Structure formats: C-alpha cells, structure tokens
Structure 1
Amino acid sequence: MKNRISWMASVILFAVSSYTLPDAYAQKSKGQKPNIILIMADDMGYSDIGSYGGEINTPNLDRLATEGLRFKEFYNNSICAPTRASLITGQYPHRAGLGYFDVDLGLPAYQGFLNKQSLTFGEVLRGAGYSTLLSGKWHVGKDSLSWPNQRGFDQFYGVLGGGANYFNDYPMPLGGRDYPVVLLENNKKLKPKPDSYYFTDEITNHAVNFLDEQDKSGKPFFLYLAYTAPHWPLHALPEDIAKYKGKFDQGWDELRKQRHARQIQLGIVPADSKIAQRDDIPAWENLTYDEQKLWASRMEVYAAMIDRMDQGIGKILSTLKALKKDDNTLIIFISDNGAEGGTYTLGARGKRYNSGPVGTSGSFDYVYKNWAQVSNTPFRSYKNNMHEGGISSPFIAWYPKKIKGNTIVKGTGHLIDLAPTFYDIAQAKYPSSFQGTTTHNLVGKSLLPVLTGVTTEVNRSEPIFWERAGNRAVRKGKWKLVSDYEKNKWELYDLEKDRGETTDLADQNPQVVRELSFDYQQWAVRTGVVDYETIKPKDAIGPVNEKKKGDGK
C-alpha cells in the first residue's frame, strides 16, 4: 500500500513539475498573444461580492466567476502600498523597496518606492510586445522617476498616492494634516473642476478610451485597472445609494451569519467551517433606532461604491466584445487587502470630519470594524493585520474556452504569483538585467497549472511570508503562524480545519512553531526585513485601533 501511495504521489509530482504551457495558451506563430486585464479593488473584504457570499449587486463580477474560476485562498499583503509592490513586481514588498509604505524610513527595503532591481509587469510585458495600460491607483512611488510612465506603462491615468476624494482633487484630511492628492494623465498633472466627475467612473472611462486607442496598434495589451473603490472616504452617487436603502437594516450580526451561510452554499467555505469569533463591537439590537440608521447609511454608501465599480467592469466587458477581443483575454480580479477596521474616533482623520451627509464630497466617513467584520466574513481581523481577514482576497480568473467555468479550487495563491503567471501566458522573458541593472529573481509561481486544471493549488517549495509594521505571518501547508505587533507572540492555526483562526494550537505544537519561526527568520534576513522598533516612524501609517493610533491611512 505504501508503495502504491508513493507511486501515485510521484506521478502527481511529475505532472505538476513537468508542466508546460498548454497549446491553448502557447499561441502558435500564426496566432496572437492573449490580452491580459488585471482588476484590483481597494479595501474590499473577502465576502463583499455576490460570488463570495455578499448581498451587494455585482452581476458583472459574478458573471466572471460563474464563467471562470475562483480561489478559496488567495493572499495579499494586508495594506495598500506593500500589496501593490508585490503585485506589480512579483517580489515581496521589502525586496521591492516598500516594506512599510510609500514613505522613506532610511533603509533600501523601506525606501518607499520601487527599486530598479524589481521590474514592473509594465516593463517586462512592454518588452514582450504588449501595449501597457494603467488606470487608477499607483501608490508605489511619488517621485517623478517612479511614476507609471517611467516604469513601463504606455498610458496612465489616476492618482499617485493612497486615495482621493471621489468628487475632487482637494487634499484629504488625515491626522490633523492635509494628505496631498496628485492626479495625473501621462505625467501631466490634472486640475479637474470640483464635483464635475466621479472618480470610479473616470477610472473606467479612461480604461475604455485606452482600449479603443490601443486597438489601432495591432498589438496585444495589458491593462491594469486599479480602482480606489471602496477605499475611504465613503463617497457614492445618489442613484447607486438609493438601491441599498434599507438593505442593511438587519444589522451586522445577522448579515454576517447570512453571508457565511451563502459561502457554505456556494462552496467557498466548508459546511463545517467555523466563523471567526465576534469582535468587541456592540450588538446591533443594543443600538438605538437613530444609531442603527446612521450605521446602515454607511454600509449603503460602501455597497454603492462597489456597485459602481462593478458597473465599470461591465463597460470593460462590453468594450472587449465590441473590439472582438473577449475570446482572447484573460481577466483576473482581486482586492488589495481586507476591509478596514478601526474604532469610531475623530482623531484619526482630523477634526474636519464630516461637513456633509455620508456619501457626499464633504463626508470623510468609513465603515469601521463594525461593518468590516461583515465584509471579511468568515475571517478574523482587518486591513493591516496578518490574520485571515487582513490578507484574504477574492480571486476570479476568466478566460473564455481556456478556463473551465464555475470552477472553485483551493488555490492558495499570493500576489507574488501574478507576475510569473502573466509572463507565462504572454511568453515574456524576464530579463536577468535591465538597463544596466541586475534584476531580482522572481519568487512566485505561475498560476497557470491551477487555472488550466492541471492542479487545484499552487505547488511551491517554500512557505509564504508576511511582515508589515511588526505584524508577521508564515503559511506552510495547513499551518499558519501569525503574530500581532502589539502582542509579539506567535499563534498557530490549522487552516484546513479552522480558517476563522478561532483556536490557537501553538502550545500543543511547539515543534511546528519552532520550524516555521525559523523559516520566517531566514526569509526576513534574505528579504531585508528588520525589527519594526528600529525603523518605526513617529506617526505610524495604518488603520486605527485602540492600541496603535496612526493617521488612519
């Protein structure tokens, strides 16, 4: 029996290790390379869209999910800039220069912009003959040498920093100071008329225009569509908000249960899965009527923001069809981190808190952990934290006739895997040197074996690692080792049985803790991670909680 099991394991290992690009992807000389669209939502939780259990109206994303493939497990880096650093380069964020954020903390791993050794997918794919297009949020370098057009993108429209008012380009009130908003189109700073646009629509419209213009080139295209929705502040159009009036009056306790039940029905989580323990927020039934209405209004706007993003994705799909490129385009959809937690406090975003109703351009409200706990169902914690609620993203892959429809797999992918996937499908060579600089090797794995049904999860030889502002984690097989900065103590979870991270098994499995912590230390040394206390800035950047107050960014 042992020999038979060993033989079967060898066959499976050989099939995965000897994987070659299928003919459907390896285009023949007479064929055309596939187009690629990468769509990223901002601060959107794992369960917010319909195909992951949410009640928000997302028909276009749900269509992509039904006609394509979903991962149960896909990981980001828990917060905006480090996520984008890994996404754009295929490197861990410290290796790319953004181990903390887009601010310079005085070390190469924390310089606050992409280093030259870490090539962007714009640079690599443009070298492979692709038109490279970006509409939306950059957030991996403010200096002009680090802008998108200088890092491989033919076309760019969007903001350089972490966010913006959705109706104007005024500075954002953060921590008693003004956070500048730089809106660009191909290196030209724009000054739009206030309240003359809605930013989510502008991101979509520019992407559509880029695609129409690019069609004349005869080249394949790569489009990175980086929405800021539903990132703070809560701003939406009245007609979208109206769709959700009364939708959330049941409150966070009941809606969290309903989402979990739908996830089980969809097959996103196991029937015996345990939902994360309830956070220290008030029971909905204990709120006054006026409090319930105020809280419900916040979630109505949040839902409207996701709804409008989905409408934009529908326009992209219509454009693809009109250009007759829908059959030869791979679309990937993910979110940059879990929903933002934090407590109800005015200090985080300054005293100019709300000069208008929630949803309007004078409002600077967000959902807090009260609703973020629902968005991240069934997981624990929020943005900036390495528990599953902070680093878990929905993952949808769609490619007509190439990816089997309505497929749900374990996956266990990570941001570092996307660049290798795109280079694989585009047959793009990742250079060992670029413009006189030796490049970092890619550390991720192509997802194509999973997308094409060769296997159901990524086959990697080492664990996945995380570190940001002292929060740390390691994922290896079923085990996850995780530590919060405030506690500085390793916790251990069996994610096959307990992805809600409800039962810490560290004390029962000291050997596993030792092995994974040793793996972490080795990774930290070779990646440039240092003790957070040695570089910690005076004003920490991250979501606000009771113990660690930053500027709320």
Structure 2
Amino acid sequence: MQKLRHSSLAIAFSLLFSLAVQAAERPNIVVIMVDDLGFSDLGCFGGEINTPNIDSLASGGLRFTSFYNCARCCPTRAALLTGLYPHQVGLMRNGNSLTRNGVTIAEALGAAGYQTAMSGKWHLSRTQALPDHQKQLDWLNHQSQPDRTFSPVDSYPINRGFQRHFGPIWGVVNYFDPFSLVDGETPVDEVPDDFYMTDAITQKSVEYIREMSKSEAPFFLYVAHTAPHWPLHAKPEDIAKYKETYRDGWHKLRNDRYQRQVEMGLIDPNTYPKPELQGQGDDWGALDEATRKHMSQLMSVHAAMVDCVDQGVGQIIDTLKETGELENTLILVLADNGASPERYLQPGFDRPNETRAGKPIQYEGLFTPGSETTWGYIGSYWASAGNTPFRYWKAQSFEGGAHTPMIAHWPAGLKTKPGSTTDQPGHVIDVLPTFLELAAAEYPQTFKQNKITPVEGLSLAPILSGQQRAGHPALFFEHEGGKAMIADGWKLVQPKQNGQWELYHLAQDRTETNNLAATEPERLAQMKRQWQAWFNRVKP
C-alpha cells in the first residue's frame, strides 16, 4: 500500500509538472555526453582536473549520485537515445546499427516541432572492417578510399531524426585527423592543420545553437564527445597544465579524490568504504622511474582531454547566454561508462598504423604521449583511481563501470536548491521519457511505419521538480558477460572474468566491498531468476 501511495503521488507530481511545461515555453535541451570519463574526474565529483565550467553547472544545478549507464559506449548511447535497453534496439553488442523498433529522442522531438542537431560521435551504425588487413589500414590511415561508405548511410544520425550532424560515425578516432568523419551524409575527407576533434565538436555545437536560436521553435542538441576515450591525444598547452600532477601515482590519486568526496559530502565513508585499488600488471611501487614518468604522462594527457571538454562546455554556456537561451535550456552532462582500462597494442580494425603523411604510430614503449604519432591508454590502475570511490571500470557491471556522474542545469525549470545532490537512482533509459514529458510530446506506438517497442524508462521530471519519484522496481545490466541487477537496495553482479555471481547490500555497501552471496543464498537465487527473466524478455 505504501509503495502504491508513493507511486500515485509521483504520478500526480509528474502530471502537474507536465501541465506546467505545456503552459510555459517548452525548454531547449542540450545533452553533453563525455566518453570514458572517470566517475571522479570532474571537480564537482571530487577530481583535481580543472573543470570550472562543468562545475558551474553543478553549483547552479543538481548532481545525481546514483545514475547508471550501460557500462560501454554503444549500449549506453542506444539506451539514452531510445529509452529502451540496448538489447531491444540492436546494441546488445558493440558495432551494430540502431534498429527501427525504437524511436530516437531526435525523431520524437522532431515530430513534436523541435529543431534537432548533433555534434560528435555516433557509434550506432554497423562497423565492419575490410577483409584485407592492409587495405583496412590504408583506409584508416586516409591513404586510400574503398568503394564503400563507413557504415550503412540509412543508419547515420542525419537519417535517425537529427536535422544536422557533424562528427565521426565509428567509435575511435585520431583526434587530429579522424577516421569516419561526416557532415550529414557527406564524408569530410580533409581537415585543417590545426584540427582537434574536441574543439571541432564544440565549434559545431556553438554554430548549431546560433542557427537554431534564430527560430521560435525550441531545439534539442546532442553533444557527443570522443574525449577522453583513447587514444590519448591532446594539445600541448593543455597537457602542460598537468605535467607534475600525477607523478606520485595512482594510489595517491585514489586517496586524494576519496577524501575530497567525503569532505564535499558526496559520499559517506560508512556506506562507501574505500575499496582496494585494482589493476593488471605491476603496481606503482614495482615500476622503475622511467616507467613511472611515462605512466604519469599518460594520465596527464587524459586530464588534458577532460580539461578541453570543459573549455568547450564554457563556450556552449557563453553561446546560450549570448543568444538568450540559457535560462530555459535544460543541460545534462554525463558519461557513457566509467574510465577505461583498455590497452590495444596492435593496429587494426579501428586503429591505424600510420598518419596520413605516412609517419608510423607508436603503440608500445616509453614514448611521450599526446601527439597523433602515439596511441596511448591510461590502463587499469589509473582507470580504477579515476572511478573513485567505486570498483572496476568500463565494460564491467560493477559500480565503476556502470555508474556515471550526472548534472542537470535548468534555471527556469529546476526546482531543487542550486548545488544540491540527489541520491535517487536513475538510468540513461530515463532520459527520453523525461524529455518527451518536458516537451509535451508523445511516445509513439508506430513511427515511419515501424512498430515501436514500449518505452522502458521512467521520467526524471519529479526529481527535477524537487519531488521523490517511485522509480524503477529494478534495473538490469548485461554486456559481454558482465551482468547485474539492482533492486530494494541490493545488487546482484557477475564479473566478466569468472562468471561467479556476487551479491552486495548497496544500501550499506555502495562500493561493493562485502560479497554476501554465501550468506544470502535465497536472495541470490531469487535475483538470478529475476535477472534471467529480464534477459529472456529483452534479448534479440
């Protein structure tokens, strides 16, 4: 009865909020997605990286401390854009096209009279390498152009509801000379000498805002950054800011970030016990001085990439102010997954072996990272520290893989105290229904003659209006063997690496440090059955 009462109240608040939106001017909406961002990379989530512009959105808005993604690039983007679990729209695995049984935010808002634009990484179109390895490398290196498109053109953003799009179709890019870059359907074959992907995404976003603000119709802008996803490429002036920042290693970084999070009131050490740092290979104390220098340089480039994203957010904020649009623009900032431990040490598929000019790209050794002739990664220890206070990283369904910082900023519509936080759980599947409610738009049963799967997400509007929402009875996760379910303050999780189910009482152990599988066999079995029933329902 209590649960039903809360549900009825949430529906009532949501209805009132929706009616208020219809009576007032519908908001512009800007989503800023950051790629492979550590949970604690941003200053407003405990990081030392200089992110004053994103921090300003947090200080004037609302931070979500229990918001989830799908732990990897493609699945998260599919879920965010459709309000469905990725398995339901073709993205159970990376590298497929978004299917037509889901409607994108851009398609739904466009049908409701919104202007729509996207700047940045798509990664929701089928990606296939050429059968000949050397021809694939030549293609990646911009040294040949095969008689084919990067992916099926009908799956490009411009054909999934976005009236404007500039950015790469594939998921990995040389930041100084990206592969699969398009403007609409047209390949961008050459870029200026001073090109840098993050800056280009920002510049195009600013251009789109200026264009769309000339119209009376509201707009939806999706800013999908490639940074700080590997390869570690950044501008020298940004790298220089962090030259000495990481010389004391990943343990100090973890400890410093954890302490700041406690001091900021983001976490309670009683319910967020600090877990051991995880990693693969030699720990900091076992490295020689030259390797330590190299490893600290890698993290410095990662920080520089995040810093550059923040500079771009500042330009977007300034443009919204200049055009008079900031007051009634809802801005969300979030990440597609946690920091990444990935290290691919050979070229191939989406990794070139040479620059356009034929200079070899170095993947291994103690090189100085940052330029397009190097292909660096932060690796597992830095990723673990980057996801403080959580365990694990990208692609895992532990909190460090599937937990994203999220910020909502909306001066005209947000009813929470500026700078406040909410621990109410949310998921990227909730983004589409939220936007449709704020735009007074309907979720269609059919779209362009395609039957649309009923939405899985729930609107975040009650939270934005300062209310408690009923939320999801359960949230589910699965990606390449990493599985999880969250319900009633408990989390069932299966690591990718060993297949053994684990059980954590998140209400008391948010950082998953005490596995209770052996002492709660009935709960474990029940949650496993629930997870399997969900998976059987959503899998293709």
Q: Same-fold call, TM > 0.5?
A: yes
User: What are the residue-to-residue correspondences of 1:396-415 with 2, within 5 Å?
Assistant: 396-403=407-414, 404=416, 405-415=418-428
Query: What residue number does 1:269 align with?
Result: 267
1:92 pairs with 2:85:
yes
- The one-letter amino acid paired with 1:431 is P
TM-aligned CA deviation for residue 485 of structure 1:
3.3
TM-aligned CA deviation for residue 469 of structure 1:
1.0
Query: What residue number does 2:310 align with?
Result: 310
- The one-letter amino acid paired with 2:319 is T
1:485 pairs with 2:496:
yes
1:129 pairs with 2:113:
yes
Query: What residue number does 1:437 align with?
Result: 450
- Partners of 1:528 and 1:53 in 2: how far apart? 37
The alpha-carbon distance between structure 1 residues 255 and 344, as it changes in their structure 2 partners (threshold 3 A), is farther
Query: What residue number does 1:167 align with?
Result: 176
Query: What residue number does 2:507 align with?
Result: 496
Q: Is the 8 A contact 1:73 1:412 kept in 2?
A: yes
The alpha-carbon distance between structure 1 residues 471 and 24, as it changes in their structure 2 partners (threshold 3 A), is closer
Say which of 437, 453, 475 aligns to 1:424: 437
- The one-letter amino acid paired with 2:424 is G
Query: What residue number does 1:245 align with?
Result: 243
1:114 pairs with 2:98:
yes
- Partners of 2:344 and 2:436 in 1: how far apart? 44
Say which of 147, 156, 163 aligns to 2:156: 147
Query: What residue number does 1:540 align with?
Result: none
Moved more, 375-384 or 345-354: 345-354
Residue deviations 1:48-82, cap 9 Å, x none? 00011100000011111111111111111111111
The alpha-carbon distance between structure 1 residues 28 and 484, as it changes in their structure 2 partners (threshold 3 A), is closer
- Structure 2 gaps of 5+ residues are 126-150, 354-360
- Partners of 2:279 and 2:74 in 1: how far apart? 28
Q: Is the 8 A contact 2:206 2:316 kept in 1?
A: yes
Query: What residue number does 2:326 align with?
Result: 326
- Partners of 1:344 and 1:127 in 2: how far apart? 42
1:522 pairs with 2:506:
no
Q: Is the 8 A contact 2:38 2:387 kept in 1?
A: yes
- The one-letter amino acid paired with 2:58 is A
- The one-letter amino acid paired with 1:124 is A
- The one-letter amino acid paired with 2:103 is L
- Partners of 1:64 and 1:21 in 2: how far apart? 27
The alpha-carbon distance between structure 1 residues 380 and 249, as it changes in their structure 2 partners (threshold 3 A), is same
The alpha-carbon distance between structure 1 residues 321 and 92, as it changes in their structure 2 partners (threshold 3 A), is same
TM-score (norm 1): 0.87
- Partners of 1:476 and 1:28 in 2: how far apart? 34
TM-aligned CA deviation for residue 503 of structure 1:
1.1
Aligned-residue CA RMSD in angstroms?
Answer: 2.0
The alpha-carbon distance between structure 1 residues 194 and 353, as it changes in their structure 2 partners (threshold 3 A), is farther
User: What are the residue-to-residue correspondences of 1:187-336 with 2, within 5 Å?
Assistant: 187-193=185-191, 195-272=193-270, 273-280=272-279, 282-336=282-336
1:158 pairs with 2:167:
yes
Give SS of 1:393's match. strand
TM-aligned CA deviation for residue 447 of structure 1:
0.6
- Partners of 2:396 and 2:491 in 1: how far apart? 14
1:83 pairs with 2:76:
yes
The alpha-carbon distance between structure 1 residues 285 and 242, as it changes in their structure 2 partners (threshold 3 A), is same
- Partners of 2:352 and 2:198 in 1: how far apart? 25
- Partners of 1:461 and 1:249 in 2: how far apart? 43
Q: Percent identity?
A: 39
- The one-letter amino acid paired with 2:102 is S
Give SS of 2:525's match. helix
- Partners of 1:343 and 1:497 in 2: how far apart? 34
- Structure 1 gaps of 5+ residues are 1-5, 103-111, 170-180, 530-553
Q: Is the 8 A contact 1:46 1:392 kept in 2?
A: yes
Moved more, 301-310 or 186-195: 186-195
TM-aligned CA deviation for residue 284 of structure 1:
2.6
- Number of aligned residues: 500
TM-aligned CA deviation for residue 115 of structure 1:
1.1
TM-score (norm 2): 0.89
TM-aligned CA deviation for residue 22 of structure 1:
4.4
Q: Is the 8 A contact 1:267 1:408 kept in 2?
A: no
- The one-letter amino acid paired with 2:490 is W
The alpha-carbon distance between structure 1 residues 522 and 397, as it changes in their structure 2 partners (threshold 3 A), is same
Residue deviations 1:280-329, cap 9 Å, x none? 45443443222221111111110000000000000000000000011100
- The one-letter amino acid paired with 2:120 is G
Q: Is the 8 A contact 1:119 1:439 kept in 2?
A: yes
Give SS of 2:21's match. coil
TM-aligned CA deviation for residue 341 of structure 1:
1.1
- The one-letter amino acid paired with 1:275 is K
Query: What residue number does 2:463 align with?
Result: 450
- The one-letter amino acid paired with 1:450 is I
- Partners of 1:527 and 1:465 in 2: how far apart? 10
The alpha-carbon distance between structure 1 residues 17 and 27, as it changes in their structure 2 partners (threshold 3 A), is closer
TM-aligned CA deviation for residue 496 of structure 1:
1.7
Query: What residue number does 2:139 align with?
Result: none
- Partners of 1:468 and 1:432 in 2: how far apart? 28
The alpha-carbon distance between structure 1 residues 122 and 401, as it changes in their structure 2 partners (threshold 3 A), is closer
- Partners of 2:279 and 2:205 in 1: how far apart? 41
- Partners of 1:145 and 1:311 in 2: how far apart? 33
